[in-house]
Amino acid sequence: MDIVVCVKYVPDMADQPRFTADHRVDRAGGQLSELDEYAVEQALRVADTVPGTHVTHLTVGPPPAAEALRRALAMGGDAAVHVSDDGIAGSDAPATALILAAALRRLTPDLVLCAMASTDGGTSLVPAMLAEHLEWPQLTFAAEMTLDQGGTVQIRREAAGEVRHLAAELPAVVSVTDRIGDPRYPSFKGIMAAKKKPLDTWTLADLGVPADRVGPAARTVVDGITARPPRAAGTIVPAEGEGGRRLADFLSTQKFI
C-alpha cells in the first residue's frame, strides 16, 4: 500500500506571526504543523501492520519547508516530496490543493492522509478539495480510522449532535483529528536515518501546473490584518473565603444573575 501524508510548514504558533506588506504570512521560520504529526502517525501505524507499505511525505512551500519533511521523515516513512517554486507564494487553499493534487496524480497513492487543519490558516479545506480534484472520496475529521483487507477505509467522526461512521473504498483522502492517537517522538536513530532518505524537489513545471492558476492568481484576497486589541486588564481578587460571594457580586453588576 502506498500512502502519502500531506504536511505543512507553519510559523511557530507560540510566537507572534509576522506578515508581509501584501498580507501574506511570513514563512521565514517555522516547523511541521503540530496537527500533521497525527496524520504521520496514522500512516506509520499502517506501515507497522501492513507489510510492503510505502509512506511518502508531501509538502508545498518555500525552501525552508523541507524542514517539515525532515521532521516527518524522522518520525518514520520512506521518502518525501517538496513542491517548491517561486510562483507558489501567495497561494490560497484552492491553489494549494491544485498543486498537491497534481503531485498526488504523479505519486498515485492508495491513501492520502492529512491533518484536520493546519495550525496557521486553519481552514480545514484542503483534504476535501484534494478529493474533489482527484474524484476520490474524502473522510474528514476522523477520530478513528480502520482499514480492512478489501480496501475499505472507515472512520468515526465525532459530530456535534451525533457520532457518525463513514466509509469509502480506496483510493481515498482521510483527514484526522488529534483524538486519533498520540504521535510518536522521533528517535535519535530516526533523526539520523531521515537525513539519508530521498527528498525530491519538484517545480510547477515538473507537475504541469500552470503558473497563472496559483500564487497571485489566488481566488481570495486579504485587504487587511490587524492585531486584536489586548483585553483591558481585569480585576483579580484573592478568594479569602469570600471568592464565591465576590464572584456573585461581579456577575450581578454585569446582570448575569
Partner 1 sequence: MSDVLVLVGHLAGPVGKASLELLTLARRLGDPVAVCAGTVDERAVETLGRYGARRVHVIESDDVREYPVAWVRALADLTADTRPVAVLTESTPDGRETAARLAVRLDSGVLTDVVDIQDGPDGPVATQWAFAAGYTVTSRVVGGIPIIAVKSNAAVPEEAPATPAVTRSPLVLDEADRRTRVVSREPRESTGRPQLTEADIVVSGGRGLGGAEQFELIERLADALGGAVGASRAAVDAGWYTHTHQVGQTGVTVSPQLYIAVGISGAIQHRAGMQTSKTIVAVNKDAEAPIFELADYGVVGDLFEVVPQLLDEVARRRA
Task: Report, in Å, the least distance between residue 158 CB and partner 1.
Answer: 5
| Number of residues located near partner 1, criterion CB under 8 A | 87
C-beta of 51 vs 135, nearer to partner 1: 135
Candidate list 40, 177, 183, 202; residue touching partner 1; CB under 8 A: 177
Q: Which of 57, 52, 45 is nearest to 4 (CA)?
A: 57
254 binds partner 1 (CB under 8 A): yes
Candidate list 92, 99, 104, 209; residue touching partner 1; CB under 8 A: 92
Q: Which three cell numbers stand for residue 12?
A: 511557530
Per DSSP, the three-state class of 21 is coil
C-beta of 193 vs 218, nearer to partner 1: 218
Residue written as grid cell 478539495:
129
Residues in region 34-53 near partner 1 by CB under 8 A:
35
223 binds partner 1 (CB under 8 A): yes
Residues in region 109-128 near partner 1 by CB under 8 A:
116-117, 119-128
Per DSSP, the three-state class of 154 is strand
CB 91: neighbour CB atoms within 10 A?
A: 22
Rounded Cα distance between 256 and 235, Å, is 17
Q: Which three cell numbers stand for residue 178?
A: 488529534
C-beta of 181 vs 190, nearer to partner 1: 181
Task: Report, in Å, the least distance between residue 170 CB and partner 1.
Answer: 10
8 Å CB contact between 142 and 175: yes
Q: Which of 154, 136, 137 is nearest to 145 (CA)?
A: 154
Residues in region 157-176 near partner 1 by CB under 8 A:
157-169, 172
Which segment (56-64, 74-82, 155-163, 200-208) binds partner 1 by CB under 8 A?
155-163
Residues in region 16-35 near partner 1 by CB under 8 A:
16-17, 23, 35
CA 141 to chain centre: 11
240 binds partner 1 (CB under 8 A): yes
Q: What is the DSSP letter of 19?
A: B
